Amino acid sequence: QVQLVESGGGSVQSGGSLRLSCAASGYTYSDVCMGWFRQAPGKGREGVAAIDSDGRTRYADSVKGRFTISQDNAKNTLHLQMNSLNPDDTAMYYCAALYAGSCPPLTLPSYYDYWGQGTQVTVSS
């Protein structure tokens, strides 16, 4: 059973930085795509970034150049470095995973089979 546990959320002022982490366990196969999604109150779930087993990444246009997704060599921990945060980044951030050789488009969160409980990020102006 795959389990994902996020950490690192918090409150920060506009222009600040946060680093989210996602501890993963229970993988059965090595080809795994992992991603970060976010959901603000009253809005749908939005794809932020994703990375596959070969290290190929995808980013939403809204975070390109500001956010960086990475994973450790053992693929047990996923990170999201978030810089130049602004109030529009305020949301609950979720870690997600699926068994796949490459990641699906970020516009398709339904493709992801495993989800964490989320960690809140709040950016004040």
At 36 the pLDDT is 98
| CA 104, 101, 72, 68 torsion-angle sign | negative
Q: Which residues pair with 10 in a beta bridge?
A: 121
DSSP tag of 62: T
At 103 the pLDDT is 96
pLDDT digits (tens, 9 = 90+) for 46-67: 999 999 999 999 999 999 999 9
At 75 the pLDDT is 61
CB 83 within 8 A of CB 99: no
pLDDT digits (tens, 9 = 90+) for 72-102: 867 689 999 999 999 999 999 999 999 999 9
